[in-house]
Structure 1
Amino acid sequence: MTDLLTPTRKQVADWARLSQKKYRRESGQFLIEGEVCVREALHAKSVDCLLVLNSEAERWEALTRKHPKLLCYRVGPEIFDRVSQVETTQGIAAIGKQFKLHPRKSGLTLLCEQVSDPGNCGALLRVADFFGVSELVLGAGSADVWNEKVVRGSMGSLFHQPAREVADLESFIHKWKGDSLALVAHGGTELAQATNLKQPKLLVLGHESRGLHPDLEALCTQKLTLKPQGDAESLNLVTAAAVFCYALS
């Protein structure tokens, strides 16, 4: 079996603090949990070290052997629970190092005014990645992309999908050179009828519950609406984003 290290008390304390946005920002690190996300992080070379639960060490031996130069720490359940932010663990976690991805050269740009729910933010990253979105732009007050729930919700897409937070969304939309498309509940052109859209395209989504702020809506060159075919009045933000990304990509 691969030799695994024992962490110091300070290391454990530092890892536990990664639940705080302030400390993530100061340290440049973030917590990664679960097999899928850990493997994606390793593939992206975005891991500082691995944490393996004692009882699961044999299970993850093959994984640790593939990365002999990477520091791997073996910990008991008390320490693992102190660092972990999930109720049910797979016995593997990683301390990641934050990174920046450049926007894809082509594709739709997706702008979200405010996505405060970490689960929704992670799911949006996954949607954006699936449809080859050039960049995901998040407004102030959105969940931190390095939040463990966002990382886990993205199912590894965080390591592929360019994303960033922009404080001044009005300026961002105003400077956009192509069509900026506001997703609105009522009063817009039906998605199926939207034609001759200018590249590059910017899809603008509002807050999860309040919708798009009128000031941002007014800056967009077109307003688009998805007409319901059944009795449900609306879709949640992530589902609506997926439908529009599919149609516009």
Structure 2
Amino acid sequence: MALFTNFGIGVSTYGDAHRLIKKHRLWGYVLLPGVINIILFIFVFIAGWHYSDVITHWLFDILGLDKEPTGFLKYLFIALHFVLGLIFKVLFILFYLAIYRYIVLIILSPALALLSERAEQAMFGTKYPFDFKQLLKDILRGALIALRNVFVEFFFMIIFFFVSYIPIIGFISPICLFLVSCYFYGFSMIDYSNERHRLRIGESVLFVRKSKGLAIANGMIFYLILLIPFVGLLFAPSYAVVAATIATEKIRQKDQLIIIQPDKAITENGNN
């Protein structure tokens, strides 16, 4: 039951996130990770476009296809060169998308951590003094969690790859892979709040595992927003981390029967 309750919280807090951002004018903090994300994507796209051509030329060279053909073969080689170049470009982009959340967690970590902090400050009035040493620790933590999640997700990918060949139940494999991917997307966003509350990595893992419905929902909406051209790159990471910040506070306070209003500062005792 808690799974579906937390899933609902994970979905609804995206609306809360928009209202919080709008009311407290957090657009500067929202756009900073988005702009960095777009610059990163453009850089990867240009690099992929360039090196896909380099790889194609290299492949033609080692296969002995670098000599200029004539007649019909000339057009065949041009078509083959175009198709191979396109395949390598697509593979490069797919590879980038496959490791995207880990790149976000590491490179955008300082900007997203700051946004999560400002979102909590808008909710509760809590202020955290800037600490450069702590910032470096946060970046290192993000890298460690990213590496951990890479191996764990890869383990599940192997399992579901073999499950896909089992008759009758094999069809569920793509669905399970999608949910696992969403879970780790959400995990990345939730951990910013967990780190600020000084949860160790193991404690953060247990928190997310207990709130897996939240992680899946947050990651799922994040993934769907990311599919929107340009808008997804600009807003998906920021909205996901603000929604995760609101949701984790709701779950932390749920046992104390404190209702969190994202646009109001609330004390630990639940008084406005």
- State whether TM-score is above 0.5: no
Whose strand fraction is larger, Structure 1's or Structure 2's?
1
TM-score by length of 1: 0.23
TM-score by length of 2: 0.21
Larger Rg: 2
- Which one has a larger percent helix, Structure 1 or Structure 2? 2
